[in-house]
């Protein structure tokens, strides 16, 4: 066997744990955004895949619904304004995962804070001054 191929296989074997990290019990505690990201990106071959994916979806949807309930009122300006034809739950979660992967600076922050940082970035609301200026 070629020495270059052997070296490549050894390097791949050494890097493999970093590429396919298994979900840990700590991830389910969601102490930070990276824990949630690990749950949301678990490999389908991982034995905890169903639990991790369902936890990911439940966490993100639950946090959003709580936010909606707390901010539901006439005197509360909206922070997140979904489009007229909003994306599906899965599409929204995929967008969140892609955004978090591009922003490792938020991996150690609270997952809820990062979720709303993403939502405000992805679907910001125009404030009344911007709307009046564009009329």
Crossing angle of the two packed helices 49-70 and 33-40, in degrees rounded to 10 = 130
pLDDT tens across 70-106, in order? Answer: 888 788 888 899 999 999 999 999 999 999 999 999 9
Mean pLDDT computed over 124-134: 60
For the chain, give the longest Cα–Cα distance.
72
Full-model pTM: 0.77
């Amino acid at each position: 066997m070629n020495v270059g191929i052997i070296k490549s296989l050894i390097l791949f074997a050494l890097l493999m744990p970093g590429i396919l990290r298994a979900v840990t019990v700590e991830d389910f505690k969601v102490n930070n955004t990276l824990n949630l990201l690990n749950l949301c990106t678990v490999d389908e071959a991982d034995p905890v895949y169903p639990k991790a994916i369902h936890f990911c979806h439940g966490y993100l949807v639950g946090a959003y619904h709580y936010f909606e309930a707390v901010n539901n009122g006439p005197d509360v300006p909206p922070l997140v304004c979904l489009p007229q034809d909003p994306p599906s739950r899965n599409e929204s979660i995929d967008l969140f995962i892609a955004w978090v992967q591009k922003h490792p600076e938020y991996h150690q922050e609270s997952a809820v804070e990062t979720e709303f940082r993403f939502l405000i970035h992805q679907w910001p609301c125009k404030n009344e001054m911007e709307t009046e200026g564009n009329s």
